[in-house]
Amino acid sequence: MAAVVVIAAQEQRRSLRKSALEEQANTAEFDADHDGHVSPQELQQDIGHVQVRLEVLLERLSLEDGLIDLIKNLPLFLLCLFCFLAAIAILSPPPQTAAIHRHLGSHFGLDQAAIYDFLQTFEDKNAELRDACLSGITFATSFNYWCEHRYFQREWDDHYLVPVSTCPSPRYTALELQSSPDNDTAYQIEEDNPNLTCHDHASHACSTDLGLLYCPQTCGYCAPFSYDRYRKYTKPQVTLLPSVVHQTRFKTKACEGWAEKFLVQNYNPVLVTMPALDGPKNDALLTCVDRNAAYEEDYAFYLECTAHTPSARCVNGQIPITAKTLFHGQAVYAKMLIESKRDLAAMQEVGWIDSQTESITVSTVIYTEDLEMFTSLTVTFDFDYAGNVDGSVSMVTYKDVILSSAQNFVACLLTTCIGAGLSATALTVHLLRHREQCNWGLTCYEIFSRILLLVYPTILLISWSQQLLMSHEFDLLLETFIGSDGVDEAHMNHNMQEYFKVKTVIHDEVGWLERHRVASYVLMYFQFLQMVLYFNAHPRVAMLTKTVKGALLNMLHFFLVFTILFLMLAFMAHFLLLGWPPYELSKPQKPNKHPKMQNKKEPQRQRPNPKIRNPKKPSASKPKPLKA
C-alpha cells in the first residue's frame, strides 16, 4: 500500500513538472522578442493558439464589477453613516455618560442590601451633592456648606495651623422660612395642651421643629436669614433636593385556605412561659394581600390615635400616614427625606414597609456642570410573594443640546437625510433601468437601508425639536420647594404633588431618549449588515460569507435541536435545584471587641424561679379560651 502511495505521488509530481514546462514553452512561443513578457501585439499575432478559462474570467469580471459598485456607493454611504453616528454621539455622548454613571454608582453605594440602611446612605450621599442653581446664582442648600450668619465662627486653630470654621447652630437645615410671629394656638394644638405658650415653653419648643414652625419669634428663627460660607463645595456634580422615596401597594383581601384557620387559632392560658400564646390577641395575626389589585386609598395606611395625639393629626380616631400622589396615573405614596435619620426611624417605627408593599423606589436628580448633562438616578426594590427583595438601578443621562452642539446636531442629521435620499433615488433608478442585470436581493436591501437612513433621522430631528430643555424642567423641580408657602404637612403634600408632576415630564423625556437610543442601535445594526455586503466584493470576505451561506441551513437545524434540548435541561435544573438555597451556612461570628460595645449589655428578660414548681394559682376561675 505504501508503494502505491509513493508511485502515485511521483506521478503527480511528474504531471505538475510537465504542466509547468508546457506553460513555459507556451510562453516562450508567444514571446517573440524573448524579453520575458508577452505584449498585446505578440498575443494578437498568435491569437489562434490562445485558450481562455471562462470560470476564471467570470470570477475576475464579477470581482471588478463588485469593486466598481463599491467605489460608486461606498463614499456616500459612509458620509451618511458617519454623520448619523456623530449626531447621536452629540445627543447622548457615551464617554461622558459612562463617567457620570460610574461615579454615581460608587458615590451612592449601590451595592448595599438592607433597605433602610441603603435609604439612609443614599440620602447622606445625596446631601453631599445637594446644590441648586436659581436665576444664575449658585448656592448650596445643604447645611454642610452654609451657616447662619449669627452662628458662624471662623477662628485660628493652633493644632492645624489654619483658620477653622464652626457653626454651633441649633437649626438642622438651611430651608427658607416665612417671617411670622409666634402662633401659640397652633403650638397648643400640636402639643395637645391648651395652657402652653411659646414664651413659657421655649426650652422645649426651640429644641424641636415646633420652634421653627410655630415659635419663630421666641426662638429667633424669623426669616429672612443670612448665610456665610462654612465649607467649600468641591464636587462637579450637584443634586437639587433631598431624596424622594415612594412605594406602590397592594389591596388587602379576606384570607383563604389555611390562613383563615390560622387567624382564629385558640390560646392556652397554661403557656405562661410563652408570652402571646397564653392570652387572646386584639388584632389580626396576618394581613392577606391581593397581588392582582392596586391599592389606591388617600393614605398608605392608618394608625389608631394615642393619648396626647395632636388633634390636627387625629382624624376620626385614626392617624393617616403618607398621602397619595399620582405618578403616571398610578397611585404612589411618597416621602421626602428632609431629615433622613428622623424620617427613616419614624418609617421603621410605624412599619412603613409591610406585606402590602409592592415596590420601594428612591430617586434623585443630578446635574453635571460644564457638560450640561442631567442624570435621573432611580433605585427600585421589588418584593415577591415570599418577601424576597430584588433591587435594580436605573441611570439615564440627558444632555441639553444647545448652542454649537445644537447646530452640529442639526447639520449632521440634515446631511444624513439628504445623502440617504439621493442614494436611495439613484439606486431605485438604476434598478428600474437595469432589471435584468441587477441582483434584486442585494439592491433592494441597499435601498431599504437608505430609506431607513432617510426616515429615522427625520423623525429624530422633528421629535427632538419638540422636546423641552431639561434645564427648564430642573428649574421647575427646584421651584416646587423653593417657592413653597410653608413647611407644614398640607403644604408639603401640595409640594409633593407638584414635584411628581414635574417628575412625570422628566420621566417622559428620559423615556424618549431611551427609545431613540434603542432605535439608533437597530438602525446601526442594519447599516452594519449593509457594510458587510459592500465588503463582500473583497475575495477574502466573499469566501467567509459564502461559507456561512452554504452552512446556513445546517446551522438553523442545529440551533433548533439545540434550543429544544437546552430548554428541557433548563427546566429539569429549575425543577430540581431551585428549592435549594444558593448560600452556605455561615460560621458563628466572634463577639464584638469594639471598646464602645463592651459596656453595652443586652437587657435580660426575667425568668421564673426554677425552684418554684407549683406556683399558687389565683382563686378566680380560669379564663375561657376563645372558641374557633
| CA–CA dist 386, 389 (Å, integer) | 9
Domain boundary among 490, 515, 549: 549
Query: In this structure, are residues 214 and 183 in contact, taking their beta carbons and an 8 Å threshold?
Result: yes
Q: How far is CA 186 from the centre of its chain?
A: 43
- Asked if residue 43 is part of any domain, the answer here is no
AA letter at 450: R
| CA–CA dist 238, 477 (Å, integer) | 14
Which pTM value belongs to this model? 0.67
- Asked if residue 539 is part of any domain, the answer here is yes
Same domain as 217, residue 303: no
Domain boundary among 483, 518, 549: 549
Same domain as 381, residue 422: no
Domain count, the chain: 3
Closest CA to 240 of 426, 54, 503: 503
Same domain as 248, residue 220: no
Write b or e for each residue in 106-130: b if 16 or more Cβ atoms lie within 10 A of its Cβ, otherwise e: ebbebeeeebeebbbbbbebbbbbb
- Asked if residue 356 is part of any domain, the answer here is yes
Closest CA to 379 of 356, 359, 361, 401: 361
- DSSP, collapsed to helix, strand or coil, labels residue 398 as strand
- Asked if residue 209 is part of any domain, the answer here is yes
Same domain as 355, residue 328: yes
| CA–CA dist 9, 7 (Å, integer) | 5
- Asked if residue 101 is part of any domain, the answer here is no
Query: In this structure, are residues 412 and 420 in contact, taking their beta carbons and an 8 Å threshold?
Result: no
- pLDDT recorded at residue 163: 65
Element (H, E) at 333: strand 330-336
Query: In this structure, are residues 122 and 108 in contact, taking their beta carbons and an 8 Å threshold?
Result: yes
> Is residue 22 classed exposed, middle or buried when 0-12, 13-18 and 19+ CB atoms within 10 A define those classes?
exposed
Same domain as 379, residue 247: yes
- pLDDT recorded at residue 14: 57
Domain boundary among 388, 415, 436: 388
Query: In this structure, are residues 479 and 471 in contact, taking their beta carbons and an 8 Å threshold?
Result: no
Same domain as 307, residue 377: yes
Same domain as 511, residue 410: yes
CA angle 251, 254, 256 (to 5 degrees): 120
592: phi > 0 → left, psi -120 to 50 → alpha, else beta; which? beta
Q: List pLDDT tens digits, range 195-253.
A: 888 877 777 878 777 777 778 777 776 666 677 777 777 788 888 788 899 999 999 99
| CA–CA dist 510, 504 (Å, integer) | 10
- pLDDT recorded at residue 49: 67
Cross-strand pairs, 390 = 382
Same domain as 198, residue 159: yes
- pLDDT recorded at residue 610: 40
Looking at the chain, how many residues does it have? 628
**What stretches in the chain show pLDDT beneath 50?**
1-9, 21, 25, 28, 131-141, 172-179, 584-589, 591-628
- pLDDT recorded at residue 580: 62
Query: In this structure, are residues 110 and 379 in contact, taking their beta carbons and an 8 Å threshold?
Result: yes
| DSSP letter assigned to residue 231 | S
Same domain as 435, residue 327: no
Q: List pLDDT tens digits, range 95-142.
A: 888 888 888 877 777 665 567 788 888 877 777 666 433 333 333 445
3-state helix, strand, coil in the chain (%, to 5): 50, 15, 35
- Asked if residue 602 is part of any domain, the answer here is no
Query: In this structure, are residues 202 and 219 in contact, taking their beta carbons and an 8 Å threshold?
Result: yes
Distances (CA, A) of 358 to 67, 167, 395, 404, 447: 61, 42, 21, 46, 49
Same domain as 455, residue 334: no
- pLDDT recorded at residue 417: 94
| CA–CA dist 239, 62 (Å, integer) | 62
Same domain as 248, residue 180: no
- pLDDT recorded at residue 605: 42
- pLDDT recorded at residue 494: 85
Closest CA to 109 of 128, 85, 90: 128
- DSSP, collapsed to helix, strand or coil, labels residue 184 as helix
Structural domain boundaries enclosing 348: 110-124+237-253+288-388
- pLDDT recorded at residue 297: 93
